[in-house]
């Protein structure tokens, strides 16, 4: 069992002594590094109460071979509750490895929220969901200072987690949406002049319904630019919908979320990041990414092209794609495959031009 492999007694002692969780992570990372002697591992987090009542997490693990295997197993696990959305699962996994945020857009009942919840289970990190409504306040997102027994105490908001599911994000007014801006980019929030660092990793999976027209506040360009991907979900094909009917349900609710196994966890994500940092980027690939981005800025059919941040996002996503494909270097095909998902939502088009038209021109250079 995993507890035996990691030395349960040693971990229990560290928890009892209230050792910072970062040190526990370092111990686990050290014990899982062993070259060919140790496989990569999948991690599941469990809450434990320390004597002061603060919840701490520690890890149970099972082996997986490499990131290629991880992608296949992620599809398998998410497929227990969401059928026919394999490409979207791949993109969410790429985003998690690249430390990027994701916007999922689709019609009602296309499993946007369920997909986000299922992927959070697979990643195995701390998870919170917030339903955005017209009366959702910024304090609910970031947190608020309060007075307790004569002392000022900070009460963390929803963003203090590893994975935040921001459901129907376009149903809240711009002031509330803006509360996410600093958190998404800087991984910190500032309340009354004091900065508070968010847990690492921090990933936002936001959903929105493009068919709603009442009580909707479109996301501003500044916030759209902070999303690594925009994934547009369509209804599944006929065979997939038949398979959905065969899934176990409790009433109308899928009954399999509890069966999804976590495959990464915080330590596993850290290990994957190190692999991404070591991914080679040939000069021709870097030149191609810059050429694509600059072409969108020069296109007369676009009012606003892709930013420098978009180029960085495209490179990070391409590195993750290469690693999930079993390669240690990025190829041009990685860039071509991901460019539409990274760039399309960042382009502002003039009349007569579509984002797809502009991308086709940029990718053909």
Q: Which residues pair with 57 in a beta bridge?
A: 47
For residues 143 and 178, the answer to whether their CB atoms sit within 8 Å is no
Task: Tell me, yes or no, if the pTM score tops 0.85.
Answer: no
Taking Cα atoms as reference points, which of 69, 81, 164 lies closest to residue 118?
Answer: 81
The pLDDT averaged over each successive group of 10 residues in the chain (365 residues) is 32 39 54 44 40 39 65 87 89 93 92 88 87 93 90 92 92 90 88 90 91 82 92 90 82 70 80 87 97 96 95 96 94 97 96 94 92
Burial 23-61 (b: 16+ CB within 10 A, else e): ebbebbeebbeeeeeeebbbbbbeeeeeeeeeebbbbbb
Sorted by where each starts, the structural domains of the chain and their CATH numbers stand as 2-64 (no CATH), 67-256 (3.40.50.300), 280-363 (1.10.8.80)
- Residue 258 is given by DSSP the state G
The predicted pLDDT at position 12 comes to 37
């Amino acid at each position: 069992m995993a507890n035996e492999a990691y030395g349960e007694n040693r971990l229990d002692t560290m928890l009892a002594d209230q050792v910072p969780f970062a040190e526990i992570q370092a111990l686990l990372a050290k014990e899982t590094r062993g070259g060919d002697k140790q496989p990569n591992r999948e991690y599941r987090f469990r809450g434990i109460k320390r004597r002061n009542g603060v919840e701490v997490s520690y890890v149970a693990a099972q082996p997986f071979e490499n990131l290629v295997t991880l992608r296949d197993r992620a599809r398998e696990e998410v497929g227990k509750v969401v059928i026919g959305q394999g490409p979207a699962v791949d993109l969410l996994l790429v985003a998690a490895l690249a430390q990027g945020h994701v916007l999922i857009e689709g019609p009602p009942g296309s499993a946007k929220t369920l997909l986000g919840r299922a992927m959070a289970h697979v990643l195995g990190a701390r998870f919170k969901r917030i339903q955005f409504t017209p009366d959702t306040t910024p304090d609910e997102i970031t947190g608020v200072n309060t007075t307790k027994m004569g002392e000022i105490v900070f009460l963390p908001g929803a963003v203090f987690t590893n994975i935040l599911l921001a459901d129907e994000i376009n149903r809240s007014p711009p002031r509330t949406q803006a509360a996410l801006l600093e958190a998404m980019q800087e991984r910190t929030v500032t309340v009354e002049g004091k900065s508070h660092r968010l847990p690492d990793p921090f990933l936002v999976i936001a959903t929105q319904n493009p068919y709603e027209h009442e009580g909707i506040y479109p996301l501003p360009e500044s916030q759209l630019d902070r999303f690594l991907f925009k994934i547009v979900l369509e209804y599944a094909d006929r065979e997939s919908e038949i398979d959905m009917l065969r899934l176990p349900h409790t009433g109308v609710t899928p009954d399999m979320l509890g069966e999804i196994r976590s495959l990464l966890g915080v330590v596993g994500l850290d290990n994957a990041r190190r692999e991404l940092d070591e991914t080679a980027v040939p000069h021709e690939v870097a030149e191609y990414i810059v050429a694509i981005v600059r072409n969108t800025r020069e296109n007369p059919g676009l009012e606003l092209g892709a930013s420098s941040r978009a180029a960085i996002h495209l490179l990070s996503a391409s590195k993750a794609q290469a690693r999930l494909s079993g390669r240690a270097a990025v190829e041009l095909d990685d860039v071509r495959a991901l460019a539409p998902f990274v760039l399309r939502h960042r382009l502002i088009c003039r009349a007569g031009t579509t984002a797809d038209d502009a991308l086709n021109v940029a990718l053909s250079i």
